[in-house]
Amino acid sequence: MAQHAYGQYYAPPPPPPQAQQNLQFYGGEQAGFYGGSVAPAYGNMGVSGSIQSGGGATGAGPQGWLAAFGTGGFEGEPPLLEELGINFPHIRSKTMTVLNPLRTVDEHIMDDADLYGPLMFYFLLGVFLFISGKPQFGYIYGLALLGSTSVYVLLNLMSPSGIDAHRVASVLGYCLLPMVCVSAVSVTFSLDRAWGYFLAALSVSWCTYAASGIFVAVLRMTEQRFLVAYPISLLYSCFALLSIFSAS
């Protein structure tokens, strides 16, 4: 993900300028982030020698190790969240936009496919289910991975133009929020009764409506909305199953 975040910083982002809201991470200004001097140094992450080279590039010289392990940091170093590409206000605004069922879907709404929001939602779902007595973290992650892969394969087979896997995973994760709310309800009340089924069905349809709307807009498959929505509803129903029925 960090590589993708750097693509945001150092190159113009792919979405066109007529996006209704500026939903790009950290907006459109790239060059002035922390000066151009530090830019090449942080281009590669996780390489052992990069700390030294980073120190050298900024002109800090042999103080590289000290700066890395101390609290001073390098000159012009961005804050950690910004460097990692985690932007909480952006995640919140994107979630609100995605889940509003009355909006018109803009096809560029998910052009910056960040995975931090979805990851947070899956983890939150796992935590709520754990509190309600169903420790199923592994199943949630496995289902998320398998479901994203299957929807990615299916959408690429069904649509004339393709879609990339990051965007699929991002859309599916953001649209999971109603399911997270239902699992929050399941903490206090058991959902294994009639109104629980109804609530779960309602949240599944809300998730599916949001996700299929985005996919149909991105892939321009307007007459096949139901065909796209059905597999996504199956995926969210699996999550609903995990939320409703506790393992015996």
SS3 78: coil
Phi/psi for 22 (5° steps) reads -85, 85
Total length of the chain: 248
Residue 194, interface with other proteins (CB under 8 A)? no
SS3 110: coil
Residue 242, interface with other proteins (CB under 8 A)? yes
Q: Which uninterrupted H or E stretch holds 153?
A: helix 137-158
SS3 79: coil
Q: Which is nearer to other proteins, 10 or 139 (CB)?
A: 139
The Cβ of residue 50 has, within 10 Å, a number of other Cβ atoms equal to 17
Task: Please give the residues from 24 up to 83 whose contact with other proteins meets the rule CB under 8 A.
Answer: none
Closest Cα to residue 108, out of 13, 205, 2? 13
Phi/psi for 161 (5° steps) reads -100, 155
Residue 241, interface with other proteins (CB under 8 A)? yes
How many residues in the shown chain lie near other proteins by CB under 8 A? 22
Closest Cα to residue 114, out of 86, 137, 148? 86
Which one of 88-96, 100-108, 212-220, 231-239 is the stretch in contact with other proteins (CB under 8 A)? 231-239
Contacting residue, 227, 229, 232, 243, with other proteins by CB under 8 A: 227
Q: At 190, list the tokens.
A: 């058991």
What minimum distance in Å lies between the beta carbon of 226 and other proteins? 6
Sign of CA dihedral 62, 57, 25, 225: negative
Q: Which is nearer to other proteins, 93 or 159 (CB)?
A: 159
Residue 224, interface with other proteins (CB under 8 A)? yes
Specify whether the CB–CB gap between 126 and 140 falls below 8 A: yes
Residue 230, interface with other proteins (CB under 8 A)? yes
One-letter identity of residue 128: F
Residue 247, interface with other proteins (CB under 8 A)? yes
Q: Which is nearer to other proteins, 87 or 243 (CB)?
A: 243
Which one of 8-16, 110-118, 175-183, 235-243 is the stretch in contact with other proteins (CB under 8 A)? 235-243
Contacting residue, 6, 123, 130, 139, with other proteins by CB under 8 A: 139
Lay out the site mask for other proteins across 150-179 (x = CB under 8 A, - = otherwise).
----x--xx---------------------
User: Which residues lie near other proteins (CB under 8 A)?
Assistant: 136, 139, 154, 157-158, 192, 223-224, 226-227, 230-231, 234, 237-238, 241-242, 244-248
